[in-house]
Amino acid sequence: MRPIALAVALTVAATAGAVFAVTEAARIPVVWAGAVATVVVAALVAEVVRRGRALRHAHADHARRQAALERRLAEHDDETVRFAKELMPAAIKRLRSGESPAEVIRDVVDADEQYRDLPHAQRQLLRTVLEIIDLEEARRESAQRAFVNIARRVQAIVHQQSSELRQMEEDHGRNPEVFDDLLRIDHGTALIGRLADSISVLGGARPSRQWPRAVPLFSVLRGAMSRILEYRRVDLHSIAKVAIIGTAVEPLIHACAELLDNATRYSPPQTRVHVTAVEVQTGIAIEIEDGGVSLSEEARNRAENMLLQAQAGIDLNELGDTPRLGMAVVGRLSQMYNLQVSLRQSAYGGVRAVLIVPRDIVTTGPAPGIAHGIGASAVPRGGKSSGMTPEEARAPQRKPRPAAVPQAAPTPPPAPAPAPRPVAMPRSAMEEDVPVVTEWTENGLPQRRSRGRAPLGSHNLPAQERQAAAEAAAAAAAEAEAAGRPRKEEPEPGIWLEAFTKAANGVPLDPPAETDGPPTRAADGNMDSTWDKGDLK
- What pLDDT digit, counting tens, does each position of 10-26 carry? 777 777 777 777 777 77
* Rounded Cα–Cα distance for residues 109 and 91 (Å): 9
Residue type, 113: E
Please report the DSSP string for 26-43 in residue order.
THHHHHHHHHHHHHHHHH
pLDDT at 312 (0 to 100)? 61
The mean pLDDT value for 343-355 works out to 83
Residues 24-40: pLDDT tens digits? 777 778 778 878 887 88
Tally of CB atoms within 10 A around 365: 8
pLDDT at 186 (0 to 100)? 86
207: nearest Cα among 231, 230, 223: 223
pLDDT at 172 (0 to 100)? 83
Cα three-residue angle 289-290-291, rounded to 5 degrees: 135
Which helix (H) or strand (E) element contains residue 475?
helix 463-482
In the predicted structure, residue 473 carries a pLDDT above the cut 70: no
The percentage of the chain sitting over the pLDDT mark of 70, rounded to a whole number, equals 63
E strands along 197-336, which residues? 209-210, 215-216, 234-239, 243-244, 273-280, 283-289
Q: At what angle do helices 176-202 and 120-171 cross, to 10 degrees?
A: 170
pLDDT at 457 (0 to 100)? 37
The mean pLDDT value for 329-339 works out to 87
Confidence category of residue 196, pLDDT binned at 50, 70, 90: confident
Report yes or no: 522 and 452 within 8 Å, Cβ to Cβ. Answer: no
Residue type, 208: S
Q: Where are the alpha helices (DSSP H) in 83-234?
A: 88-96, 101-104, 113-116, 120-171, 176-202, 217-225
Report yes or no: 346 and 261 within 8 Å, Cβ to Cβ. Answer: no
In the predicted structure, residue 357 carries a pLDDT above the cut 90: yes
The mean pLDDT value for 363-373 works out to 73
pLDDT at 34 (0 to 100)? 76
Confidence category of residue 80, pLDDT binned at 50, 70, 90: confident
Question: In this predicted model, which residue has the larger pLDDT, 395 or 39?
Answer: 39
Weakest mean pLDDT among 165-179, 404-418, 475-489: 404-418
Tally of CB atoms within 10 A around 166: 20
* Rounded Cα–Cα distance for residues 483 and 476 (Å): 11
- Any residues with CB less than 8 A from the CB of 523 and at least 6 apart, and which? 176, 457
Residues 107-146: pLDDT tens digits? 888 877 777 778 888 888 889 999 998 888 888 888 878 8
Category of 122 on φ-ψ map: left (φ > 0), alpha (ψ -120 to 50) or beta: alpha
In the predicted structure, residue 500 carries a pLDDT above the cut 70: no
The mean pLDDT value for 162-178 works out to 86
Confidence category of residue 472, pLDDT binned at 50, 70, 90: low
* Rounded Cα–Cα distance for residues 60 and 361 (Å): 75
In the predicted structure, residue 536 carries a pLDDT above the cut 50: no
**CA distances in angstroms from 183 to 169, 187, 264, 384, 442, listed in the order given:** 8, 6, 21, 28, 28
In the predicted structure, residue 397 carries a pLDDT above the cut 70: no
Residue type, 441: T
In the predicted structure, residue 304 carries a pLDDT above the cut 80: no
* Rounded Cα–Cα distance for residues 311 and 328 (Å): 8
In the predicted structure, residue 320 carries a pLDDT above the cut 70: no
The mean pLDDT value for 404-416 works out to 41
pLDDT at 446 (0 to 100)? 44
Cα three-residue angle 233-252-207, rounded to 5 degrees: 115
In the predicted structure, residue 277 carries a pLDDT above the cut 80: yes
Average pLDDT of every residue of the chain: 71
* Rounded Cα–Cα distance for residues 155 and 161 (Å): 10
Weakest mean pLDDT among 105-114, 175-184, 406-415: 406-415
Q: At what angle do helices 246-265 and 217-225 cross, to 10 degrees?
A: 40
Q: Highest mean pLDDT range out of 2-6, 172-176, 220-224, 428-432?
A: 220-224
Which helix (H) or strand (E) element contains residue 357?
strand 351-358
The residue count of the chain comes to 537
The mean pLDDT value for 319-342 works out to 80
| DSSP 8-state assignment for residue 484 | T
The mean pLDDT value for 175-202 works out to 86
Report yes or no: 358 and 282 within 8 Å, Cβ to Cβ. Answer: yes
Report yes or no: 348 and 274 within 8 Å, Cβ to Cβ. Answer: yes
In the predicted structure, residue 406 carries a pLDDT above the cut 90: no
**CA distances in angstroms from 352 to 19, 274, 286, 295, 300, listed in the order given:** 112, 9, 10, 10, 11
pLDDT at 274 (0 to 100)? 92
In the predicted structure, residue 284 carries a pLDDT above the cut 80: yes
The mean pLDDT value for 162-183 works out to 86
**CA distances in angstroms from 311 to 169, 202, 298, 330, listed in the order given:** 40, 10, 20, 9
Cross-strand partners of 283: 280, 358
